[in-house]
Amino acid sequence: MSEEFKIEIVNPEKSFLIKEDVLEVVVPAFEGEMGILKDHIAIISFLKPGIITIFSKEGNEKFFVEDGIIEFKNNNLSILTSSIFNLKDVSENKIQDLLKSAEEEIKKDEITDQKKYLADQKIEVLRSIN
């Protein structure tokens, strides 16, 4: 039996990626990284800034997300996100820009703990990309 399942990433503007033959997906869920294999239990969770890694036969792909929701059901993984890009295509400048805006956000006084946590995460991940 094959160990493959389907993944679909959508952002508000379009379907970002659809792949039928994925072996494993690692997503940065809010409470920690989560690896999803075939026949995972139906789950809904949301994402913190981080890297989505998709493993398939052709190798793996990495994407940076800022936020999103994942839904896994009947071997269909849907990821809804408003901000995602492929690590291969992203330029150094873009990462620097994101890093800068996150750093600025964290300096604000009236920031909630949760927002601060998310911004912290973002900085950490962006630094690790560089």
Partner 1 sequence: MASLDDLKKRIASVKSTQKITKAMKMVAAAKLRRAQESAEKGRPYSEKMNNVILNLSNGISDKENAPKLLSGTGQEKTHLCVVMTSDRGLCGGFNSNIIKKAKSYFAKISDEGKELKIITVGSKGNDQLKRVYGDKIIENISFKESKNANYFDADKVGKMVIEKFEAGEFDICTIFYNQFKNVITQIPQAQQIIPLNNEGEENSSEESYEFEPDEDEILSNLLPKNISTQIFKAMLENSASEQGSRMSAMDNATRNAGEMVDKLTIEYNRSRQAAITKELIEIISGAESL
Which residue ranges make up the site for partner 1 (CB under 8 A)? 8, 10-15, 29-31, 34, 41-46, 67, 69, 71, 73, 78, 80, 82
Q: What is the DSSP letter of 40?
A: P
The pair of three-digit structure tokens given for residue 31, joined into one six-digit string: 């409470």
- Are the C-beta atoms of 27 and 33 separated by less than 8 Å? yes
For partner 1, give the closer residue by CB, 11 or 56: 11
Residues facing residue 78 across a β-bridge: 8, 71
Among 61, 56, 78, 67, which Cα is nearest to 8's?
A: 78
Among 130, 95, 102, 107, which Cα is nearest to 118's?
A: 102
Task: Give the residue carrying structure tokens 């792949």.
Answer: 19
* Beta carbon of residue 57, minimum distance to partner 1 (angstroms, whole number): 26
For partner 1, give the closer residue by CB, 1 or 41: 41
For partner 1, give the closer residue by CB, 32 or 59: 32
* Beta carbon of residue 41, minimum distance to partner 1 (angstroms, whole number): 5
For partner 1, give the closer residue by CB, 60 or 114: 114
The pair of three-digit structure tokens given for residue 119, joined into one six-digit string: 């911004």
